[in-house]
Amino acid sequence: MKIMINIKADKEVKESAQALAKDLGLPLSGIINALLKEFVRNRSVSFSAVPKMTRALENVLGKVENDIKNKKNIVGPFRTAEEMNKYLDSL
């Protein structure tokens, strides 16, 4: 017998989860049901997520990579930590 469970979730999370489930060809309810079964079977919860950069961070890293490639806005290398600290103190 199937029953209905009502949960509260962030709108963005629900929409992203539904889109991903659809891409996989599965209903979101099937994924949630499988996760609940795994929770009961293993009597534990495990969380993992692939870190994802924000678009702003990707843009900053792109600029940094360009600077490195063009040898722009780069100081060093420093031979010692004292040499590095001296440079930083001069800024």
pLDDT tens-place values along the chain, 91 residues long: 999 999 999 999 999 999 999 999 999 999 999 999 999 999 999 888 888 889 999 999 999 999 999 989 888 889 999 999 999 999 8
**Greatest alpha-carbon span in the chain:** 73
Give the tokens for residue 27: 């209903």
Cβ–Cβ < 8 Å for 51, 57: no
The pTM is what? Answer: 0.51
